[in-house]
Amino acid sequence: MNMLESYSISDSQSGESVEADDTFFSLEGQFKTLASLLKGRIIRPGHSQYDDFRAVVPGNYDRRPTAVIRVANAADIAASLRFARDNGLEVAVRSGGHSGHSSTDTGLVIDLRDLNRLEIDKKTRTAWAGTGLTAGEVTRAVEKHGLIVGFGDTASVGLGGITTGGGIGYLVRKHGLSIDSVLAAEVVTADGNILLVDEKQHPDLFWALRGGGGNFGVVTKWKFRLHALPAFTGGPLVLPATPEVVSRFTALAELAPEELSAIASVMPAPPAPFIPEEFHGKLVFFCMMAFAGPAEAARDALAPFRAIATPLADLVAPGHYSDLYLPEDPEQKPAFSVCSRLMDRLDEGDAGKIINRVAGSSAPMRLGEIRVLGGAMGRVPSSETAFAHRSSRVMVSFIAVYGDPGEQAVHDRWAADGIAELPQEMDRVYVNFLLTDPAERIHAAYPPQTLERLKLVKRRYDPENLLRLNRNVTPA
Ligand SMILES: Cc1cc2nc3c(=O)[nH]c(=O)nc-3n(C[C@H](O)[C@H](O)[C@H](O)COP(=O)(O)OP(=O)(O)OC[C@H]3O[C@@H](n4cnc5c(N)ncnc54)[C@H](O)[C@@H]3O)c2cc1C
């Protein structure tokens, strides 16, 4: 039996480059030379697909890169990085496009979306996954084999961004962060070297790639350990949004078996048919529950949550893990404001502040999101990966979603003020939730000794800080 399955989840658009507009005359010759070296394509302003390819997911950013390079392999990335350096161009690296860092107004976008190969080895329970793939694509492919690797709550987030930052999702308590399942990576460094990195080969780089963000090279593919998932129960449990309910839920989620992870948000109830109409638009506690194990054990683990208060809706049931991904409309490009903090506890007073803050937002959609951590994530020593805030128990995020990017300052303020109201023992944040924060908040993403170590790795692999469009770690 062939244990190695290959998939190519392709996007086979085949537009040719068209003539450059005026802004390109100065570099036209160089671009022609670059095109002759590439297996992939160069898309420049004026090309019929330019607007599609330059777009990123958050509507906050409308940037016009000098060129988007749809790379076909690691050699294309190496050539593109050299080209950028030789011509003094800024470099943005795009995987799923869920951050504002993957576009630029003055340089190149290295677009990884054609690196979409997934090789699943059922015998060794491992997979090599290209960084052009999304979380949803990998989840759906591996779960067909009763296997899983955890990413986040959104299918369209790219494997490049989520994994370099850490990856906090519905399996965080059972299997840890996404990086805790990474066994190896292929990476192109800023000087154009193509390296295979793991615990033995370039261990410093392997350490930094797991949580240090996109600072240290361009990952072309990850090797993941896959976990058995013979049975799964999940879905939304909607409870009344009161301080008692929110704090009780959080306490129970900490005590629950590790099979159970949850992402729970105080938010206006969507006008969904499963929620009684009188609650539509009113604040509710919308809890996405995930239990990675048999249905009976799931029922037992969920019983205390169902008993907190009479649920307004309860759709938690056995099914596929990928059913947890909510539908997305790629045509919709809302703007986001996010501010987040990793915390040690969340009491009833804090829960009340979260509810009041969400009630006070003018954004069409606003959330006070709570993720209870611990379990497998907390057992990995904090020096083992660049994601070092391992002992954090809870992550709280204020998220505003709105149509007009011109409102960003108002909603950024709202989110930041909400976080400032919560306990301040120490400002700790998950690097991938630094979306609209000021650049200096990178200091909250890493303990001082971790940041120092990252800076040394940066100096070794990208001393000129070519890869700086990210949550930037500057070279030591
Ligand atoms: C709607 C939404 C939901 C989210 N939910 C979750 C969640 O549940 N859990 C969670 O952990 N995070 C979540 N995030 C945060 C998300 O993980 C980050 O925004 C992440 O950076 C997005 O990755 P991307 O590849 O889609 O984005 P991109 O914008 O393409 O990339 C993000 C950053 O990563 C760098 N990068 C991308 N690919 C590579 C690569 N191959 N090699 C090196 N660097 C690279 C880029 O340069 C950029 O700095 C969410 C974000 C959004 C917008």
- Give the model's pLDDT for residue 26: 78
What is the number of the ligand 1 atom nearest to the C-alpha of 470?
49
Q: Which ligand 1 atom lies nearest to the CA of residue 157?
A: 26
Give me ligand 1 centre to Cα 349, in Å: 32
Q: How far is the CA of 326 from the centre of ligand 1 (A)?
A: 17
**Protein residue closest via CA to atom 17 of ligand 1:** 162
Say if residue 6's pLDDT is above 60: no
Q: What average pLDDT does this structure show over 314-343?
A: 95
Mean pLDDT for 183-206 is 98
Average pLDDT over residues 333-359: 96
Among 356, 368, 371, 414, CA closest to 267: 368
- Judging by DSSP bridges, how do beta strands 233-240 and 67-70 pair with one another? unpaired
Q: Which pair of tokens denotes residue 284?
A: 């509710």
Compute the CA torsion angle 229, 235, 239, 242 (nearest 10 deg).
60
Strands in 44-84 per DSSP E: 67-70
> Rounded to the nearest whole angstrom, what is the distance from the C-alpha of residue 247 to the centroid of ligand 1?
29
Is the model more confident about 392 or about 7? 392
* Gap between the Cα atoms of 146 and 231, Å rounded: 8
Query: What percent of the chain shows pLDDT beyond 90?
Result: 90
Residue 245 C-alpha to ligand 1 middle, in angstroms?
31
Over residues 41-55, mean pLDDT: 95
CB contact at 8 A, 300 and 285: no
Instruction: Give ligand 1 pocket residues (Cβ under 6 A).
Output: 56-57, 93-99, 101-102, 112, 131, 152-154, 157-158, 160-162, 164-165, 167-169, 214, 218-219, 336, 432, 469-470
Q: How many CA atoms lie within 13 A of 325 on its CB side?
A: 20
Residue of 77, 90, 98 to test ligand 1 pocket, by largest number of atoms within 8 Å of CB: 98
Looking at per-residue pLDDT, the higher value among 435 and 357 belongs to: 357
What's residue 226's pLDDT? Answer: 98
Instruction: Please tell me the residue having the least CA distance from ligand 1 atom 52.
Output: 98
* CATH number of the domain located at residue range(s) 4-11+25-111 in this protein: 3.30.43.10
The predicted-structure confidence for 382-394, as pLDDT tens digits, reads as follows 999 999 999 999 9
Alpha-carbon span 424 to 419, nearest angstrom: 9
Q: How far apart are CA 4 and CA 244, in angstroms?
A: 50
Q: Whose CA is nearest to atom 18 of ligand 1?
A: 432
Q: Which atom of ligand 1 approaches the CA of 430 most closely?
A: 11
CA distance 395 to 339: 11
131 CA: nearest ligand 1 atom: 41
Most ligand 1 atoms within 8 A of CB, residue of 162, 177, 329 to mutate: 162
Task: Using alpha carbons only, give the angle 369, 371, 374 rounded to the nearest 5 degrees.
Answer: 165
The model's confidence at residue 438, banded by pLDDT at 50, 70 and 90, is: confident
The yes-or-no verdict on residue 81 having pLDDT over 80 is: yes
Does the structure show a pLDDT above 70 at 24? no
The answer, yes or no, to whether residue 18 has pLDDT greater than 60, is no
CA dist 112 and 219 (Å) reads 9
Question: Which CATH number fits the domain 233-444, given the four candidates 3.30.470.10, 3.40.250.10, 3.40.640.10, 3.40.462.20?
Answer: 3.40.462.20
Residue nearest to ligand 1 atom 26, measured at CA = 96
Tell me how far apart the alpha carbons of residues 394 and 343 are, in angstroms, rounded to a whole number. Answer: 5
* pLDDT of amino acid 22: 47
Indicate the pLDDT class of residue 314, thresholds 50, 70 and 90: very high
Q: Which atom of ligand 1 is nearest to the CA of 433?
A: 15
Closest alpha carbon to 253 in 360, 346, 166: 346
Closest ligand 1 atom number to CA of residue 216: 43
Q: What is the pLDDT of residues 222-241, one digit of tens each?
A: 999 999 999 999 999 999 99
Backbone angles phi, psi at 253, to 5 degrees: -65, -30
Q: Which atom of ligand 1 is nearest to the CA of 112?
A: 41
CATH number of 117-229+449-461: 3.30.465.10
Instruction: With a cut of 70, say whether residue 403 has pLDDT above it.
Output: yes
pTM (2 d.p.):
0.94
163 CA distance to ligand 1 middle (Å): 8
Domain ranges of the chain: 4-11+25-111, 117-229+449-461, 233-444
Does the pLDDT of residue 19 top 70, yes or no?
Answer: no
Q: What is the residue with the minimal CA distance to atom 32 of ligand 1?
A: 161
As a whole number of angstroms, the longest Cα–Cα distance in the chain is: 69
Q: Is the model's pLDDT at 8 over the cut of 70?
A: no
CA atoms within 13 A on the CB side of 230: 2
